[in-house]
Amino acid sequence: MEIQKLPKELQFYILSKCDGDSLINSGKVCTLWLEIIDVLEKSFHIWTGKCLNEIPRRYLVQLTGIPELLDKRNDSYCKDVPWTFWKDVYFDYNRMSVVRDWIPERKVVMMPSQLNTCTALRSRDNILVSGHIDGNVVLWKDEVEPGRFKLLTRHRSHVTAVDMLNTVESMKEVGEWVDGYTVVSVSRDSSIHVSNPLSDSVKNITLYRGSVNNLSCWGSKFVVAAESSILNGQPVWKVDHDKTVNVLHELYGHEESCISAATCWNDQIISGDVIGNLYQWKLNSTTRQQCRPVIVAKFSESYTKQIYFDGYILLCLLGDGSICWRVGNQKFQTTPNKTELEIFSATPTCLACRARLLVVGLNSGNVLVYYIATEESWLTFNPAVPTCRFRACSDSINCIDVCHDGNTPVIVVSSTNEGISRFTFRPP
């Protein structure tokens, strides 16, 4: 018997038991099912359950920006959030799969004459922030009308990294979602700027004597990598609701050389230094402390240039283009630079990862996209076999990021000669 011939009540029950993917497709079958799904959405929090039960928690934190979701004890607050929020989150997660079949489509973010080469960028929830070789940090107001931007701050030298932290850390505060963003930028001039786009205020942190080369945010916390970290330490800063910036922890123990890359996830900090050591600190979330690390790896190939860590997957891009990764507590695997040269005739220069999508920029101007279907897929991950690849520019890619615009994944890249480009995906 066809499901559509069953009583409406039974159809209602069957659809309520579908997983999220099936529920999305069911709404395209007939008007009755679309009406049933509409009731499930508005009255039964169906998408809240799909997100909490089907999306791994580490992905859910990345998709929403809310660290509190790591702890299932906070799930009771999730039903207080509008169902449309959870539907958007699930669609974001579901639509990552389109990179397997859809075609990337380029859109250039025009670079006004007063802005020089983009050297750092971050894209999140349709907000794009870029840092430039002349020290400018820019918030792009409208990507539909290129050229509209807001100058947030200006460093005295080359901007090396930008990121957005969100002081909205709990489900109770989702109503303040838009107002919660703060932009952090670092530069070769040794400065750290914490900018509030709404009030135009800028907090200038001067701790280091050398270049600050890397930056990572977690909720309202951030950590940086600097050339003088042996002398000045590696603090973990926190931006409070009133936008004051305070040191939360002091990281010590990297006596051999200075930190070249760092990342922050929950109560863990992963940092790599210029001679290939990879350190891990475990923080006490309740009290300020001086912390010492354990060494989790020693890369003999090169210095650590970039790190991605989500509590389960640890990915490192080394200075020579090698990619090293570890799944859980397994051993590190490495794709040497020479292998990349043979396969792609190019070397990786930057990477970004968001939930099920990993993107790698090459010095040939190409972008490699990897779709990680399930958590088990990481066990067979092979950098030499991307899900898709496309040409983004004619010269080397300086920086790359991946986000979602409500319809498809978005990959944002910058290059020296061609400025900033956004790539969305469309059906073939």
* Least confident interval from 69-83, 125-139, 317-331, 350-364: 69-83
Q: CA-CA distance, 337 to 318, in Å (whole number)? A: 9
Residue 395: CATH number of its domain = 2.130.10.10
Q: Is the pLDDT of residue 427 over 90?
A: yes
What's the token pair of residue 190? 């040794």
Q: CA-CA distance, 18 to 72, in Å (whole number)? A: 22
Q: CA-CA distance, 358 to 372, in Å (whole number)? A: 8
More confident position, 82 or 51: 51
Q: Is the pTM of this model over 0.75?
A: yes
Q: What is the pLDDT of residues 281-306, one digit of tens each?
A: 988 765 566 677 889 999 887 899 99
Mean pLDDT of the chain: 86
Q: What is the pLDDT of residues 410-421, one digit of tens each?
A: 999 999 888 899
C-alpha dihedral sign at 381, 122, 217, 271: positive
Are 147 and 112 a contacting pair, CB within 8 Å?
yes
What pLDDT is recorded for position 255? 75
Residue 2 lies in a domain: no
What's the token pair of residue 100? 């397997």
Same domain, 165 and 37: no
Count of the separate structural domains present in the chain? 2
For residue 220, the SS3 value is: coil
What pLDDT is recorded for position 173? 63
The domain of 47 spans 7-94
Strand 323-327 versus strand 333-335 pairing type: antiparallel
Q: What is the pLDDT of residues 175-232, one digit of tens each?
A: 555 455 799 999 999 999 999 888 888 999 999 988 999 999 998 899 999 988 887 8
Same domain, 206 and 113: yes
Count of CB atoms situated within 10 Å of the CB of 177: 16
Same domain, 84 and 217: no
Q: CA-CA distance, 159 to 3, in Å (whole number)? A: 59
Same domain, 202 and 55: no
What pLDDT is recorded for position 1? 44
Same domain, 79 and 104: no
